[in-house]
Amino acid sequence: MNRFFLLIAACILMPAAATAQSSKIKSDLVPESVLKGYAEKYKKREVKTWYEEESGYSALFVKGDLRPRAYFTSSGEWIRTTLPVKEKSVSYQVKKAIKSTQWSDWKTTQRYRIETPAHPKLFEIHLKKGKESKVFLFDPTGKALDIR
């Protein structure tokens, strides 16, 4: 079971790193399989920007005043969607879990809600103190799935 969570964490804990390895591309350069995968997952949501990733493609789209980013394999299989969120959107249990750690006095720099095929709701929290930083992955109940 731990291996499963580590695999999920490895796939999920990469929004910032994945962004650094991506490049904008025009929609006519996105493979048909990826366009179809996106259309199946997000129906009528218009893509603002397509990116070519090291391991596939991602689409930045608008959902209200939010800007989620959906990641797909080159064959069009949906991998995950990351959504930057405000502190109020993070569950109370996750906030409580962070406060009970040795990192409780660290500053939160980024928060994401992450959806995957296996987990419809996870939280990725980036903390920083001085030059040190940590990334936590929690389920909505506050259970830490990974710390890096």
User: Does 104 map to a domain?
Assistant: no
| pTM for this predicted structure | 0.78
Report yes or no on 73 lying in a domain.
yes
Instruction: Pull the structure tokens for residue 92.
Output: 């109370």
Could you tell me if residue 148 is inside a domain?
no
The two structure tokens encoding residue 125: 């929290």
What CATH number does the domain containing 41 carry?
3.10.450
Q: What is the pLDDT of residue 142?
A: 93
Paired sense of beta strands 69-72 and 47-53, if any: unpaired
pLDDT by 10-residue block (mean), the chain, 148 residues: 44 45 91 96 92 95 87 96 93 93 93 94 96 94 92
Please check whether residue 3 lies inside any domain of the structure: no
Q: Give a yes or no: residue 42 inside a domain.
A: yes
Asked, for residue 67, whether it belongs to a domain, the answer is yes
Q: Please report where in the chains the tokens 């930057």 appear, as a residue.
A: 84
Cα 93 from Cα 31, distance rounded (Å): 40
CA-based nearest residue to 121, from 104, 102, 141, 136? 141
Which two tokens mark 117? Answer: 């095929």
Give how many domains the chain has, as a whole number: 1
Half-sphere exposure of 128 (CA within 13 A, CB side): 7
- Residue 31 in 3-state DSSP? coil
In a domain, 115, yes or no: no
Q: Which three-class secondary structure state does DSSP give residue 87?
A: helix
Is residue 113 included in any domain, yes or no? no
* Cα separation, 41 vs 91, whole angstroms: 25
| Domain span holding position 58 | 23-81
Half-sphere exposure of 104 (CA within 13 A, CB side): 7
d(CA 68, CA 84): 7
